[in-house]
Structure 1
Amino acid sequence: MKRVVDPVGSWFPIPFFSRGAAIALAAGLLTTACQNPPSEGGASSPNGASGSSSNGLKIGSLLPATGDLSPIGQEMIQAVPLLVETVNQCGGVNGQPVTLVAEDDQTDPRAGTQAMAKLAEVDRVGGVVGSFASSVSSAAVDVAVRNKVPMVSPGSTSPVFTERAAKGDFGGYWARTAPPDDYQAAALAQLAKDRGFTRVSTVVINNDYGVGFEKQFVAAFKKLGGTVINESNPTRYDPNATTFDTEAAAAFANKPEAVAAVLYAETGSLLLKSAYQQGLMDGVQVMLTDGVQSEEFPKQVGQTSDGKFILQNAIGTVPGASGAALADFTKLWQEKKGKAPGAYVPHTWDATALIALAAQAAQSNDGEAIAAKLRDVANAPGQEVTDVCEGLKLLASGQDINYQGASGNVDLDANGDVVGAYDVWTVQENGGIGVVGKVNPAL
């Protein structure tokens, strides 16, 4: 018997089911329509044409319920069924209820690719919300493109996606509601300058997210007049490693004023704990990013012998949410969950909304048709709407819309990117996370 996390964040025992099946079952219980079985054969046609259900739109989610990004992913997961529930309460899409098929990508590219293949070729979804980890999306997006199923990521921020989209790799089947890391890297560099730092070092997870962020940060900080003291020998840690003493020592060597640490939670907490245990953190400002912005991360890193949190006063950046729909979404989330939405939750809501709205605009539940309409519902011209149900109603009557989301205006450019502002967060005395300001990237 395994324990899995359901879309509302609680743990429960599931006998005989795989993790992905258990998550899908739990998510399906939150929708107002039952999932229909896949068509005979299940797989897409040899030419890669996407499948579509004659019984309504199917939306897949590919997010981390387990693995290194699960502390953030578990709350993101909950936004997808909430959007589906909201849409179904106001009549669904194309006159029929929407069905959710949820998969746990385990923060693992191999597991994510397998789950994406299931969503596209067996479940035959019309669109997928995901993934969060850039490494997972990098692997899974090729499956999506091959099957003509659009992916809308609420959090894969690597600049690699912009580069690949510009080369035509995605054919319009990729978009994201969180801005790419070249913006966040510039924002973190600006924050370092604003805090008066001139000599910093970097330590990053050795994947698309970490290395892409590192390169952009180095370029941005140098442009602002700063020096990255380990630029010629960057510290990059293996995400599959279990000890990080050497990497911690390298990152904090030569007395930097600050260390820009681009981490995932489980591995990153071990690295920073090692730095503390080696006595390397005294007098050094730890600067973090979105990958560890959760209430759990300071607890994972741990406390000092006198009970203080090791990460107290660490600062970081995270894509902020400042969209026209944010107030209404926050109110709904608080009514349902009893707290304010966490990092990337508004972005997940918007990613799901765009798929539903694009399907209604296309008057089709087919992935190819949905992909063709994503930018139409996200961008001007069209009547600005913040309410998804209002948008669906206008689209059903033949009108154009310009969806204004909770995370931002979600205007998608030719590469599927959005531009955003960034919140500055800190670890408080009690180990909690607090937003203490905003910073705009100096591009």
Structure 2
Amino acid sequence: MRESSSRSTARTRRGFLALAGTGALGATAGCLDISGVRNALTGDTSGREEYTVGMIQSESGSLAAFGRRNERGLRNALTAINAVGIGEGSDPLVVELENDDSTPAGGVDAAERLVDQVEVPLLVGSIGSGVTQAIHEDVVSGSDVVQISQHSTSAALSELSALNRTAPSGTALGAALANLVADGDYESVAVTSIENGYGNSLSSVFRSAYDGEIAYEGTHPQGGESFVDELEAMRASGADAWLFVTYGSEFATMVTEAYERGYHQEVDYFGAESTLAESVLANTPEGSQESLVGVTQSAPVEQESYQRFSDEFRSIWGQDPSVWAAYSYDAVTLAAIAIEAAESFTGPAISDVVRDVTRPEGETVFSFEEAKRVLQNGGTAADVNYEGVSGPLDLDENGDPQGFYQVFEVEDHQYEFTDFITG
């Protein structure tokens, strides 16, 4: 039985209720039935230990749409984990949630609160690659805290060898984008990328993989209110294909401004996963992005564990999950399995096992409950192979999983999905 680090009752209870309160607000706004999830979070825990970890999400700012989707995956994971409980006492996992406002500075502030005040041994976070990198370099690096990013895809994050993530690196994504543009036989491409770690990394991968002419390559600010100057520069380059490496809110503004000027009739659009969001469709005119083709991360939808996750998600939230919700589910479940396998509830002990429980040499499990059964029956971390609902993790020496991708396009102002790619 692992030893637990000491934490005050007031501190863990505050985090426990903070997460439940966020869910209640979300339910009101979205008219969703989350009673089962709320009960799992706020049930009677008297006389039981609470294993508190931190999670950093984007509840506001450019990535808020992703944050809302991710939080639903978190709640599904907590429901499954706490139905079983951690250790012999079946104690609950508690997540103290903090908002990073979609900015590196906000992420660092949130991480410092969780590490210094709540004293969590493990952080799940964050969404934006630049935010995740700032958290790791400014807070996690040099400490005993374990970090698992649930969303960040920048290829540059592979250089942070102590960082773990359940979303795959953008290396394969950038190469797939390059192949898509090359298959279109365009004379040249104009690229605009958002000024942060995500934009810099993915545009760099694209540049290295693309053999054609790049007529224009520029950047644009995160959170900008207008991008007319950038669009004018792309048009002046004469490129007949435009690649947007940006976030959803910025892309919606760009697409709308290009549509108002008739540019959408002159060129074809390409984009990656962050241009794909229902909020983009809701905030752009119909017909404004009918030429858009892109590549996004995808889950192995034929896998039985994903289908179970999808059914459970739909029964609670009334809609299908995104792959980002699956990544979040896996990040929280991986954290719980590592805590169960660790000799103590400390960062170093969790770090020793967090990658081992994803190795294919172990017994394949698809849930926390299955993993706990192996560990309670005398197994060690090496005897567990957690294959997540987002696909096999098998975290490599850089903490990266393999990835599944899918091509998407816009038709009649709706997303259509076509070919799968494995990277």
TM-score range normalised by the length of the shorter chain: 0.7 to 0.9
Aligned residues: 389
Superposed, which structure 2 residues align to 1:146-295 within 5 Å? 146-165=142-161, 172=162, 174-222=163-211, 226-230=212-216, 234-295=217-278
Q: Is the 8 A contact 1:148 1:368 kept in 2?
A: yes
- Report the structure, 1 or 2, having the larger helix content: 2
Q: Which whole-Å CA distance do the structure 2 matches of 1:428 and 1:289 have between them? A: 17
Per-residue CA deviation, residues 236-285 of structure 1 (Å, 9 max, x unaligned), is 00114322111111223333232110111222222222222232221311
Q: What letter corresponds to residue 158 of structure 2 in structure 1?
A: T
> Residue 120 in 1 paired to residue 111 in 2?
no
Question: CA 1:94–1:182 in 2, change beyond 3 Å: closer, same or farther?
Answer: farther
Q: What letter corresponds to residue 297 of structure 1 in structure 2?
A: V
Q: What letter corresponds to residue 174 of structure 2 in structure 1?
A: A
Per-residue CA deviation, residues 346-365 of structure 1 (Å, 9 max, x unaligned), is 11111111111011111422
Q: Is the 8 A contact 1:5 1:65 kept in 2?
A: no
Q: Is the 8 A contact 1:57 1:93 kept in 2?
A: no
Q: Is the 8 A contact 1:260 1:286 kept in 2?
A: yes
Q: What is the RMSD computed on CA atoms of the aligned residues?
A: 2.4
Q: Is the 8 A contact 1:383 1:401 kept in 2?
A: yes
Superposed, which structure 2 residues align to 1:317-336 within 5 Å? 317-322=295-300, 325-336=305-316
Per-residue CA deviation, residues 421-442 of structure 1 (Å, 9 max, x unaligned), is 211112231x33232222356x
Q: Following TM superposition, by how much is the alpha carbon of 1:100 offset from its aligned partner in structure 2, in angstroms? A: 1.4
Question: CA 1:386–1:313 in 2, change beyond 3 Å: closer, same or farther?
Answer: same
Superposed, which structure 2 residues align to 1:9-28 within 5 Å? 10=26
Question: CA 1:253–1:298 in 2, change beyond 3 Å: closer, same or farther?
Answer: farther
Question: CA 1:35–1:133 in 2, change beyond 3 Å: closer, same or farther?
Answer: farther
Structure-2-length-normalised TM-score:
0.85
Q: Which whole-Å CA distance do the structure 2 matches of 1:34 and 1:70 have between them? A: 31
> Residue 311 in 1 paired to residue 311 in 2?
no
> Residue 422 in 1 paired to residue 417 in 2?
no
Counterpart selection for 1:406 from 389, 393, 399: 389
Counterpart selection for 2:415 from 409, 415, 433: 433
Question: CA 1:88–1:5 in 2, change beyond 3 Å: closer, same or farther?
Answer: closer
Partner SS state of residue 375, structure 1: coil
Q: Is the 8 A contact 2:264 2:288 kept in 1?
A: no
Question: CA 1:28–1:63 in 2, change beyond 3 Å: closer, same or farther?
Answer: farther
Q: Following TM superposition, by how much is the alpha carbon of 1:340 offset from its aligned partner in structure 2, in angstroms? A: 1.1
Q: Which whole-Å CA distance do the structure 2 matches of 1:411 and 1:335 have between them? A: 29
Q: Is the 8 A contact 1:94 1:360 kept in 2?
A: no
Q: Which whole-Å CA distance do the structure 2 matches of 1:184 and 1:268 have between them? A: 18
Q: Following TM superposition, by how much is the alpha carbon of 1:9 offset from its aligned partner in structure 2, in angstroms? A: 7.1
Question: What are the ranges of 5 or more consecutive residues in structure 1 without an aligned counterpart?
Answer: 14-26, 37-53, 166-171
Q: Following TM superposition, by how much is the alpha carbon of 1:146 offset from its aligned partner in structure 2, in angstroms? A: 3.7
Q: Following TM superposition, by how much is the alpha carbon of 1:397 offset from its aligned partner in structure 2, in angstroms? A: 2.2
Per-residue CA deviation, residues 147-168 of structure 1 (Å, 9 max, x unaligned), is 3221111221112211232xxx
Q: What letter corresponds to residue 66 of structure 2 in structure 1?
A: I
> Residue 369 in 1 paired to residue 352 in 2?
no
Structure-1-length-normalised TM-score:
0.82
Q: Is the 8 A contact 2:125 2:149 kept in 1?
A: yes
Q: Which whole-Å CA distance do the structure 2 matches of 1:378 and 1:94 have between them? A: 22
Q: Is the 8 A contact 1:422 1:438 kept in 2?
A: yes
Q: Following TM superposition, by how much is the alpha carbon of 1:35 offset from its aligned partner in structure 2, in angstroms? A: 9.0
Per-residue CA deviation, residues 4-29 of structure 1 (Å, 9 max, x unaligned), is 9934772769xxxxxxxxxxxxx987
Q: Is the 8 A contact 2:23 2:38 kept in 1?
A: no
Q: What letter corresponds to residue 254 of structure 1 in structure 2?
A: S
Partner SS state of residue 344, structure 2: coil
Q: Which whole-Å CA distance do the structure 1 matches of 2:53 and 2:297 have between them? A: 25
Q: Following TM superposition, by how much is the alpha carbon of 1:406 offset from its aligned partner in structure 2, in angstroms? A: 1.0
Question: CA 1:99–1:424 in 2, change beyond 3 Å: closer, same or farther?
Answer: same
Specify the alignment match of 2:41 in structure 1. 31
Q: Which whole-Å CA distance do the structure 1 matches of 2:255 and 2:401 have between them? A: 32
Specify the alignment match of 2:78 in structure 1. 84
Q: Following TM superposition, by how much is the alpha carbon of 1:114 offset from its aligned partner in structure 2, in angstroms? A: 0.8
After the TM superposition, list the runs of 4 or more consecutive aligned residues in structure 1 that deviate by more than 4 angstroms.
Answer: 27-30, 32-36
Q: Following TM superposition, by how much is the alpha carbon of 1:328 offset from its aligned partner in structure 2, in angstroms? A: 1.5
Calculate percent identity across the aligned residue pairs: 25
Q: Is the 8 A contact 1:355 1:374 kept in 2?
A: yes
Question: CA 1:246–1:370 in 2, change beyond 3 Å: closer, same or farther?
Answer: same
Specify the alignment match of 1:49 in structure 2. none
Q: Following TM superposition, by how much is the alpha carbon of 1:104 offset from its aligned partner in structure 2, in angstroms? A: 1.4
Question: CA 1:315–1:279 in 2, change beyond 3 Å: closer, same or farther?
Answer: same
Counterpart selection for 1:351 from 306, 309, 331: 331
Q: Which whole-Å CA distance do the structure 1 matches of 2:230 and 2:353 have between them? A: 46
Question: What are the ranges of 5 or more consecutive residues in structure 2 without an aligned counterpart?
Answer: 1-19, 30-36
Q: What letter corresponds to residue 229 of structure 1 in structure 2?
A: A
